[in-house]
A and B are shown apart, each in its own frame.
Chain A
Amino acid sequence: MSRVKLPIGPQHPALKEPENFTITLDGERVVDVDIRIGYTHRGIEKLMESRTYTQNLYLVERICGICSYAHVVNFTQNVEEVLGIQISKRAEYIRTLFLELERLHSHFLWLGVAGHEIGFDTLFMYTWQDREIVQDLLEMISGNRVNYAMNTIGGVRRDVSEEHRKKVLEGMDYLEKRARYYKEVAINEKTILARAENVGILKPKDALKYSAVGPTVRASGITVDIRRDDPYASYTETPFDVITTDTCDVLGRVVVRVLEIFESIKIIRYLIEHLPAGEIVVKVPRKIPEGESISHTEAPRGEDFHYLRSNGTEKPERYKVRTPTLANLPAIGEMLKGTYLADVPIVVAAIDPCMGCMDRILLLKHGKEKPGEIIDGDRLRSYGIKWYAERGWKA
């Protein structure tokens, strides 16, 4: 069969412009993938060089609205390392609490998005309803549902009260029950299995070869988790297991995230029950000396890596951010090879990419010389659902 190149690009059908992914098809199977991004390139690294460290606290958390706190923790840890200061144990516990609450909201969010991709909208409604519990807890303590502004250099800005502790534990009890339900669904629900089992295979050697990160590689049996390997905040103290499976497919990525929800609940309960007394912020010298520092965290999607070079002024000399989604893009090529076009949405969704990128990806164009038929993002998703329905699967 002849090969057809399909540009899968941002936003809209009738536009000829740089695409996100150019997929080469042989019949209905993907043979090759070519990656192009940049649609949310806001020039943040350059902006950071002209803002003070305090101003950058608020810019850094807006790199991504879903794992914003992971970025802020990296930033404050970098500055604190250059300053040579140690924050209080209580502040470490509170930061860890927020890191895990963020993981919870992100994984619930993802479950819903994944459900939506395969036409299982009920799952989307359920998981996002449950996720609201997490948003309520985040807002209760920090004042905001997204972009919590919890950190300052030297600690955290808001404390956790007795009332907060009680509510968090109640929330965890509820979410644990819900997570048990999702675990059953993920393992037993035929609609999910049909779309996720043996789809988007990433062999362990390829996961390592492309330096991929997060639940994506843990579903291929790779035991890597920055919380365990290079602990930060309170992770040397909180008991938890690094979750891996070895099915190497989309289903594995679902299972890893569902099981990680249980681990996060475990960690949060420990943090609340053992929250040490003390100050939430330590005094910080006014001047940030010259130096460099590296901080990385296990964000919900994987390793989030930050590098700081300071020059003794109130603004950073250079700040580098590598988000986990970027690290997983090269591996997507491997995962998509040999899959059906109908599987493209769920395989890409399974690395849990930033939604902004995801929204744009799904655009198809047939034909080589002439424009030919054009399908938009939503229709590729519908195409996938219909394709499977024709083969006997229904959501």
Chain B
Amino acid sequence: MTTTEELILQVLRELPVQMKRDRRIFISVPKDDLLKTINILSSELNVQHLSTITARDTGSEIEILYHFLLKGVVITVRTACSRDDPTVDTIVNIFPGAVLYERELNDILGVVPKGHPDLKRLVLPDDWVGGYPLRKDWKPPQESEE
């Protein structure tokens, strides 16, 4: 194990941490603890790079993964929100680079990042009324003749 990995595991020892293989660390937290956890990464480990945010409809909930990079180690924070109340706290105040990734979550999966400064569509057209395409129960909108 490298010193970076040892350091990360040491700092995060109070959390449910999993090291799947070298340079891949996963932490699972309830969404209420998301900001606290991310603050630890930022302030105690000086993590600065957010690679991206992945979200997935598991059927029963929406899993959200925040992928960070520290000296070549990918640290993924896993949390989830319910499909009926798909909200999560924004992390842009700690990681301004999250600004577009959170807009994408909102656009294709309907996850609302609470407190996001500028929540506009990112990839879907402004006049899109077809729902959230990446949801598992999504059906394409009906064809309408022009």
Q: Direct contact between A and B in the complex (CB less than 8 angstroms)?
A: yes
Interface readout for A34-47 with B: 1 if CB under 8 Å, 0 if not? 11111001010110
Interface readout for B28-68 with A: 1 if CB under 8 Å, 0 if not? 00000000000000000000111110101000000001010
Interface size on A, residues (CB 8 A): 35
* Least distance between A51 CB and chain B CB atoms (Å): 15
Q: Is B122 an interface residue (CB 8 A)?
A: yes
C-alpha spacing A306/B46, complex, angstroms: 24
Interface size on B, residues (CB 8 A): 36
B71, A209: Cβ atoms under 8 Å?
no
Q: Is B141 an interface residue (CB 8 A)?
A: no
The one of A34, A36, A305, A309 in contact with B56, judged by C-beta atoms closer than 8 angstroms, is A309
Chain B residues with Cβ under 8 A from A38's Cβ?
A: 121-125
B48, A320: Cβ atoms under 8 Å?
no
C-alpha spacing A37/B99, complex, angstroms: 13
Chain A residues with Cβ under 8 A from B67's Cβ?
A: 294, 305, 307
Q: Is A329 an interface residue (CB 8 A)?
A: yes
C-alpha spacing A224/B48, complex, angstroms: 12
C-alpha spacing A230/B67, complex, angstroms: 14
Centre residue among A211, A228, A309 by max chain B CB count within 10 A: A211
Q: Is A18 an interface residue (CB 8 A)?
A: yes
* Least distance between A74 CB and chain B CB atoms (Å): 12
Chain A residues with Cβ under 8 A from B14's Cβ?
A: none
Chain A residues with Cβ under 8 A from B72's Cβ?
A: 226, 228-230
Q: Which chain B residues (66-99) contact chain A, with CB distance < 8 Å?
A: 67, 69, 71-74, 76, 95-99
C-alpha spacing A329/B48, complex, angstroms: 17
Q: Which residue of chain B has its CB nearest to the CB of A308?
A: B54
A18, B126: Cβ atoms under 8 Å?
yes
* Least distance between B80 CB and chain A CB atoms (Å): 13
Chain A residues with Cβ under 8 A from B65's Cβ?
A: 307
Interface readout for A43-64 with B: 1 if CB under 8 Å, 0 if not? 1011000000000000000000
B100, A211: Cβ atoms under 8 Å?
no
Given A209-B97, A210-B96, A294-B76, do A322 and B52 touch, yes or no (CB 8 Å)? yes
Q: Is B114 an interface residue (CB 8 A)?
A: no
* Least distance between B42 CB and chain A CB atoms (Å): 11
Q: Is A353 an interface residue (CB 8 A)?
A: no
Q: Is B134 an interface residue (CB 8 A)?
A: yes
A210, B51: Cβ atoms under 8 Å?
no
C-alpha spacing A45/B56, complex, angstroms: 11
Q: Is A326 an interface residue (CB 8 A)?
A: yes
* Least distance between B15 CB and chain A CB atoms (Å): 19
Q: Is B120 an interface residue (CB 8 A)?
A: yes
The one of B24, B95, B121, B124 in contact with A211, judged by C-beta atoms closer than 8 angstroms, is B95
* Least distance between A311 CB and chain B CB atoms (Å): 10
The one of A43, A305, A309, A317 in contact with B51, judged by C-beta atoms closer than 8 angstroms, is A305
A41, B97: Cβ atoms under 8 Å?
no
* Least distance between B53 CB and chain A CB atoms (Å): 9
* Least distance between A38 CB and chain B CB atoms (Å): 4
C-alpha spacing A228/B23, complex, angstroms: 13
Chain B interface residues (CB < 8 Å from chain A): 21, 23-24, 48-52, 54, 56, 65, 67, 69, 71-74, 76, 95-101, 108, 118, 120-126, 133-134
Nearest 6 A-B pairs (CB), nearest first? A211-B97, A229-B72, A322-B52, A230-B72, A41-B123, A320-B54
Q: Can you give 30 contacting A-B residue pairs, CB < 8 Å?
A: A34-B118, A35-B100, A36-B120, A36-B122, A38-B121, A38-B124, A41-B123, A43-B133, A45-B108, A46-B133, A81-B21, A208-B48, A208-B49, A210-B97, A211-B48, A211-B95, A226-B72, A229-B71, A230-B73, A294-B24, A294-B67, A296-B51, A303-B51, A309-B56, A318-B56, A322-B51, A326-B100, A327-B52, A330-B99, A330-B100
